[in-house]
Amino acid sequence: MTVCMAPCPVVFDLDGTLIDSAPDIHACVNAVLTQHGVAPLTLDRVRSFVGGGVEVLWARIASATGLDAEQRRDMMASFMVRYHDATRLTRLFPGVTEALGALADRGHPLGICTNKPLGPTHAVLDHFGIRQIFGVVIGGDSLPEKKPDPAPLRAAFAALGADPAAPQALYVGDSEFDATCAAAVPVPFLIYSRGYRLTPIDQLPHRAVFDDFAHLPGLIEAHAAA
Ligand SMILES: O=C(O)COP(=O)(O)O
Ligand SMILES: [Mg+2]
């Protein structure tokens, strides 16, 4: 077992991990559907479509509502205009601010690797005043690849000057996309159990699970010392 000589780098997913953004995504989706005469979808349904980025979201909406390719393209474009600064219904999950502050105070380099496009990602980080705490923010449109491809997460660790293969590096996320991505990097994965995951936790590769951000700094210190 190695002892962490320097605070380990920690990269976070965003939607369903640090923020509960499904209500804003749901509102933007339904505004567009209604505008085009398509019946709205429930919050649970839209939440179940989040995790793979905007193209995956609209592919799932199209198959749920029977949109053709042209309708889907037009509606996705209208969605992006609304989504760009949609923060009104979004909340940080309980304890996130305190956990990020504690990790930053202990010197952990922190980053974001999300499939959410950079525009709405920056808007929401600015809205909550937490953008500066992150040394790198990789969005769903930062690279040609998205999670579960390992490239965006590797880029996040590289920007932090960290080697994800170092035993102490960590990725924290909520979904199947995150678990598969972390395994492909490879980097140990901590899963937040109150996010947007559909698959049972025991079927996803992960190092540890937590349901309260108050426990995260202790979990990370325990991992780093293991
Ligand atoms: O925008 C999405 O679909 C998912 O975003 P996430 O990668 O932060 O969970
Ligand atoms: Mg997520």
Confidence at residue 162, expressed as pLDDT on a 0 to 100 scale: 84
Determine the average pLDDT of the residues in 176-197: 97
Residue 44 assigned ligand-binding role: no
Q: How confident is the prediction for the chain on average, in pLDDT?
A: 95
- pLDDT over 80 at 6, yes or no: no
Query: Ligand 1 pocket check: which of 116, 130, 142 to mutate, most ligand atoms within 8 Å of Cβ?
Result: 116
Q: Is 13 a catalytic residue?
A: yes
pLDDT band at 154 (very low <50, low <70, confident <90, very high): very high
Q: Which CATH class is domain 22-83?
A: mainly alpha
Burial of 209 (0-12, 13-18, 19+ CB in 10 A): middle
* Residue 50 beta carbon below 6 angstroms from any ligand 1 atom: yes
Pocket mutation for ligand 1, best pick of 15, 96, 181 (most atoms within 8 Å of C-beta): 15
Token pair listed for 17: 């991990």
pLDDT digits (tens, 9 = 90+) for 17-28: 999 999 999 999
State yes or no: 174 annotated in a binding site: yes
Q: From the alpha carbon of 173, which atom of ligand 1 is closest?
A: 9
The rounded percent of the chain whose pLDDT value lies above 90 is 91
Per-domain residue ranges for the chain? 10-20+90-225, 22-83
Interval 122-136: pLDDT, tens: 999 999 999 999 999
pTM attached to this predicted model:
0.96
Q: Are 113 and 160 in contact (CB under 8 A)?
A: no
Whether the per-residue pLDDT at 63 is higher than 70: the answer is yes
As a whole number of angstroms, the distance between CA 140 and CA 73 comes to 18
Query: Is the model's pLDDT at 46 over the cut of 90?
Result: yes
Q: Which atom of ligand 1 is nearest to the CA of 14?
A: 8
pLDDT of residue 5: 56
- Please indicate whether the domains covering 10-20+90-225 and 22-83 agree at the CATH topology level: no
Out of 93-97, 123-127, 190-194, 221-225, least confident range: 221-225
Would you identify the CATH topology of the domain 10-20+90-225? Rossmann fold (3.40.50)
Tell me the mean pLDDT in the region 26-36.
98
Is 68 annotated as belonging to a binding site? Answer: no
pLDDT for position 2: 42
Q: Does residue 53 have its Cβ closer than 6 Å to ligand 1?
A: yes
Q: Is 120 in the pocket of ligand 1 (CB under 6 A)?
A: no
Q: What is the pLDDT of residue 13?
A: 98
Q: Which ligand is nearest to the CA of 121?
A: 1
